[in-house]
Structure 1
Amino acid sequence: MRAPPHTPAQRTAARTLALTATLTLTLALSGCDPGSTPHRPRATATTPSAAPTASLIQACTRLIAYWAEQELTGGEGAGLDWEQKGLSNEQREIYDAIVHAAHAERDAHGTDAAHRLIKRQAEQRCTAANGATYSSDNWRPPT
């Protein structure tokens, strides 16, 4: 693990990335679309129950794939810890396994193969875990 950002600009960038990831996950969890007009659809027997789960899975997949690719390439925010990245405890476990596998894949078959592995495994693992939103009691929403 790398040392946390030290310059004010790096700390600001890290906070901005963490806040963006947290906001994205919060909106996905609540089913909100920041660009839409607030409304409440009437609940009916035909309301799809899979929609919230699909949103959680998509948010999980995007978060993990983004941060795993940043870590693999040494991109911006690669040294942040899992809480700064806006990951749940369960997502952190998935992320760690994917990053480990991606490094091995890159060493064996190159960077493009590692990127494909990240996308594939993030989608598979987030789907299997229904968005991987579990967090232990140490998690608190940002204040």
Structure 2
Amino acid sequence: MTTAGQRGFRPAGRCAGRRALALCAALLGGALTGCGGGGTAAPDPGATPAAHRSTPAEICAALVSYWAKEALKGSEWAGLDWEQKGLSNEQYAIHEEVVAAARAEQAKHGGAAAGALIDRRTAEKCAAANGATGSSENWREPDWTATGTPPP
């Protein structure tokens, strides 16, 4: 209850203040008990998604299809060269082949069909070439593959 000229809130009686204090103590005590080293529950394996390790073919397909779709819609970034796009020489060859096929498909059947063709063809070609990374002059195998230890 507040009175004229008084700032803030004042409990209606002594009892209300004691109840608030008891509630704070109970909450604080409960929180501190949960922090102890006592019985800890095992983590729920379904609550944390498993790490997804992408294969070279999946990475290739995602990268090449992205840039092929950008080229098809004529985006400002489609004019970057293969290195700026992060493509290997072999991935760039797949890109050029897929973009040519997609342009023909777009003229006949529209943009949705061209996008589907890009996804399908890049997945096929990247899988057949195992990621198409070996032909790039500046490509190196990641350090973790040489040791057999996956990255953190």
TM-score (norm 1): 0.57
Match of 1:120, as an amino acid?
Answer: R
Q: Over alpha carbons, which structure has the higher Rg?
A: 2
- Are 1:96 and 2:72 matched, yes or no? no
1:63-117 C-alpha deviation (Å, 9 max, x unpaired) = 0000000000012411111111010011011011000000010011111110000
Q: 1:103 to 1:131 in 2, by over 3 A?
A: same
Q: What displacement does 1:136 show?
A: 4.4
Residue number in structure 2 paired with 1:119:
119
Q: Which amino acid aligns with 2:90?
A: E
RMSD between aligned alpha carbons? 1.9
Could you say if the C-alpha distance between residues 136 and 119 of structure 1 is closer, same or farther in structure 2, counting changes exceeding 3 Å? Answer: closer
Alpha-carbon separation, structure 1, partners of 2:63 and 2:136: 19
Distance in 2 between residues matched to 1:136 and 1:58, nearest whole Å:
18
Tell me the equivalent position of 1:85. 85
Percent of aligned positions that are identical: 49
Match of 1:66 in 2: 66
Could you say which residue in structure 2 is the equivalent of 1:75?
75
Secondary structure of 2:117's counterpart equals: helix
Match of 1:33 in 2: none
Q: Map residues 20-31 of structure 1 onto 2, 5 A cutoff.
A: none
After superposing on structure 2, the runs of 4+ consecutive aligned residues of structure 1 that deviate more than 6 Å are none
Q: CA deviation at 1:56?
A: 0.5
Counterparts of 2:77 and 2:71 in 1: how far apart (Å)?
8
Q: How many residue pairs get matched?
A: 89
Distance 1:99 1:58, change over 3 A: same
Structure 2 unaligned segments of length 5 or more: list them. Answer: 1-51, 141-152
Secondary structure at the residue paired with 1:87? coil
